[in-house]
Amino acid sequence: MMKILLGSSEVHPYSKTGGLADMVGALARTLARAGHRVGVVTPLYQGIPGRFPELKPLDLPLDFPLGARRVRGGVLGLEVERGLTIYFIDQPGFYQRPDLYQSHGTDYPDNAERFIFLSKAIAHLALHLSWKPELLHVNDWQTGFAPLFIHHQKRLPGWGNVPHSCLTIHNLAYQGLFPAGQYAAANLPWEYFTPDGVEFYGQMNCLKTGIRYAGVLATVSPRYAREITTPEFGCGLDGLLRHRRRSLFGILNGVDYDEWNTSNGPYIKHHYSSGNLRGKAANKLELQREMGLPEDDAIPLFGSIGRLVEQKGVDVMLGALEEMLGTRLQFVLLGTGTPVFQRAYQQLARRFPSKVSVQIGFDEALSHRVEAGCDFVLMPSRFEPCGLNQLYSLRFGAIPIVRATGGLDDTVIDVRENPDKANGIKFAEYSAPALAKAIRKALVLYQAPQLLHQFRQNAMAADFSWKHTATEYLKIYRHGMEGEKSLTESC
């Protein structure tokens, strides 16, 4: 049994803006059910106490210097199941806000302080919880300072055994860059603020800090682990990542099939399986009706779910749809993001009201219904560390059409790669014509029912369960612990 503490700025089902929350919540549950002692540290955001009244205050007062001032807080605990505790950091001034990171599309001006405080709280619990975690696993830039706080504590007299550390990079493009003066909030020696440490071209870089000081590094797909060591995808940190290549591992995110399933999922009206797909056809008609499109099972229905930002290829998708909407197809979109893209897709829906339906926002239940009702799902990402929607699409028998990058390339099989196991359509060039060509392939596939059925069977048989993902994480936890032990013994 291992004793593992995870730290994250969001955890499903308590808080969520994206796949980070899904990953941390599912990994924690899977590790606990495998017999490990697991804790998760995350902020107590607005609305959580009302939804989870069983929260209990713990005798773990927080009182940290934050630059020239002191900030106090508390910890509330939630026993989720045997072996799994969620520790919510209660600091109303930082976390009782309508949104997690932004207000009306603009980052909160005190985000550096908010998440340095969170990192201090994570490190404090890692060092002082009574069950003594042996491994601290943090995620993304918001918790990037925690490994440095642990590293610094290890150097102080009287601290012999401190937890080993692991950092998962979910998206290297988001690094937590702040002016150099914000480093004062860490209350650490300035010897760490160098190009070999926290500093990044004159700024403070929270993700770089985690990459530099965590014992072992992971990212969310094998291909992305290779990509981020190159200048094209390294976002300025490729040199550091090449330096740490031996400690960098790519582990695919998993899917919580208790939640994402077609046989008894709570959000879909007509249940189905790979052996009986009649329910999928019925869900398609339901989705067309819900989205205000003509109900016609014979029309191929394409969908897209996610953030409307350039990374997701929404500009390419817009161009491809302009080219393809002259053909017989329908398209539904559920997402939110950059206002210019929101307006562009809303305008597309107004121009093609019988072919395009757009819902701006995020709706968990509707996302399941889109997956259950669509024939194809578009994911033309410029880059994609892992991607989760293509994994959901596979399980729901909605054929993913993806650009061959990152986790999309690792999880989707094109007919050119393996005709017998093909479960999706891939294209390589990041352009609207390349995506339009892939859509045309999908239209041809739709006219071949037997082949489409084979694709769906392959898709629904794909297994990306969290049990496998958790096993891979346990391997790198042990690798990191042994590596640090060997380093210590050799010094």
pLDDT tens-digit readout, 388-423? 899 999 999 999 999 999 999 999 999 999 999 999
Q: Model confidence over 68-96: pLDDT tens digits?
A: 999 999 999 999 999 999 999 999 999 99
pLDDT of res. 32: 98
C-alpha torsion angle, residues 438, 440, 444, 447 (rounded to 10)? 120
Q: What is the mean pLDDT of the chain?
A: 95
Coil, strand or helix at 155: helix
Q: Which residues contact 9 (CB under 8 A, 6 or more apart)?
A: 15, 20, 42, 43, 100, 101, 115, 118, 139, 140, 142, 143
Of the chain, the percentage scoring pLDDT greater than 70 comes to 98
pLDDT of res. 160: 67
Ranges 146-155, 202-211, 230-239, 477-486: which has the least confidence:
477-486
Q: Map out the domains of the chain with their CATH numbers.
A: 3-254+467-490 (3.40.50.2000), 278-463 (3.40.50.2000)
Q: Which residues contact 274 (CB under 8 A, 6 or more apart)?
A: 397, 456, 457, 460, 461
For residues 465-474, average pLDDT = 94
Q: Which residue reads 């590094």 in tokens?
A: 217
For residues 42-70, average pLDDT = 97
pLDDT of res. 490: 32
pLDDT of res. 151: 95
For residues 111-138, average pLDDT = 97
Find the radius of gyration of the CA atoms of the chain.
23
**pLDDT surpasses 80 at 349:** yes
pLDDT of res. 488: 36
Residue 256's pLDDT band (cuts 50, 70, 90) = confident
Residue 433's pLDDT band (cuts 50, 70, 90) = very high
**pLDDT surpasses 70 at 485:** no
Closest CA to 379 of 349, 410, 343: 410
pLDDT of res. 279: 96
pLDDT of res. 438: 98
C-alpha torsion angle, residues 409, 412, 414, 418 (rounded to 10)? 100
- If residue 139 lies in a helix (H) or strand (E), which one and from where to where? strand 135-139
**pLDDT surpasses 50 at 491:** no
pLDDT of res. 362: 83
**pLDDT surpasses 90 at 384:** yes
Cα gap 405→245, rounded to integer Å: 20
**pLDDT surpasses 80 at 361:** yes
Which amino acid would we find at residue 313?
G
Residue 486's pLDDT band (cuts 50, 70, 90) = very low
